[in-house]
Amino acid sequence: MEHKTARSRSTRTKAKAFLTSHFLYFYLRSLFPTHKEFDYRWEWNPWTYAKKLAALEETGKNRSKHKQNYPLPLIVIFYSWVGSFVGIAVAAIVTQYGFSHLDKPLLIGSFGATAVLIYGAQQSPLAQPKNVLGGHGIAALVGVTCYKAMGSEWYSCALAVSLAIAFMLLTTTPHPPAGATALIAVTGGDTVYDAGYYYVLTTLFGVSIMLGVALLWNNLPRAPHMKYPRYWL
155 shares its domain with 172 = yes
Q: Does pTM top 0.85 for this prediction?
A: no
- Tens place of pLDDT for every residue, the chain, 233 residues? 555 566 666 777 777 777 777 667 666 666 666 666 666 666 666 666 666 666 655 555 444 444 555 677 888 889 899 999 999 999 999 988 877 666 777 889 999 999 999 999 988 999 999 999 999 999 999 999 999 999 999 999 999 999 999 999 999 999 999 999 999 999 998 889 999 999 999 999 999 999 999 999 988 876 666 778 888 88
- Looking at residue 128, what is its pLDDT? 96
Angle between helices 198-217 and 110-120 (to 10 degrees): 20
Is 11 inside any structural domain?
Answer: yes
Question: In this structure, are 207 and 98 located in the same domain?
Answer: yes
Residue 223 domain-assigned (yes or no): no
Whether 226 is in a domain gets the answer no
Q: 41 with 151, same domain?
A: no
Q: Are residues 81 and 178 in the same domain?
A: yes
Q: Closest Cα partner for 95 from 109, 84, 81, 79?
A: 109
Domain count, the chain: 3
Residue 213 shares a structural domain with residue 156: yes
Residues 18 and 92 in one domain: no
Amino acid 91: pLDDT = 92
d(CA 70, CA 51): 17
Answer whether residue 230 is part of any domain.
Answer: no
Please provide the DSSP assignment of the chain as one string: -HHHHHHHHHHHHHHHHHHHHHHHHHHHHHHS--TTTS-----SSHHHHHHHHHHHHHH-TT--TTPPPSSPPHHHHHHHHHHHHHHHHHHHHIIIIISGGGT---S-THHHHHHHHHHH-TTSGGGSHHHHHHHHHHHHHHHHHHHHHHTT-HHHHHHHHHHHHHHHHHTT---THHHHHHHHHHHS-HHHHHHTTHHHHHHHHHHHHHHHHHHHHTTSTT-TT----S---
Is residue 167 located within the same domain as residue 114? yes
What confidence score (pLDDT) does residue 18 get? Answer: 74
Residue 146 forms part of a structural domain: yes
Regarding whether 124 and 178 lie in a shared domain, the answer is: yes
What is the model's pLDDT at position 61?
46
Q: Does residue 59 sit in the same domain as residue 140?
A: no
In this structure, the answer to whether residues 20 and 62 fall within a common structural domain is: no
In-domain check, residue 141: yes
| Cβ-contact 179, 108 below 8 angstroms | no
The whole-number pLDDT of residue 22 equals: 65
Residue 22 lies in a domain: yes
Residue 225 lies in a domain: no
Same domain for 16 and 54, yes or no, is no
Residues 188 and 202 in one domain: yes
Give residue 89's domain range.
74-217
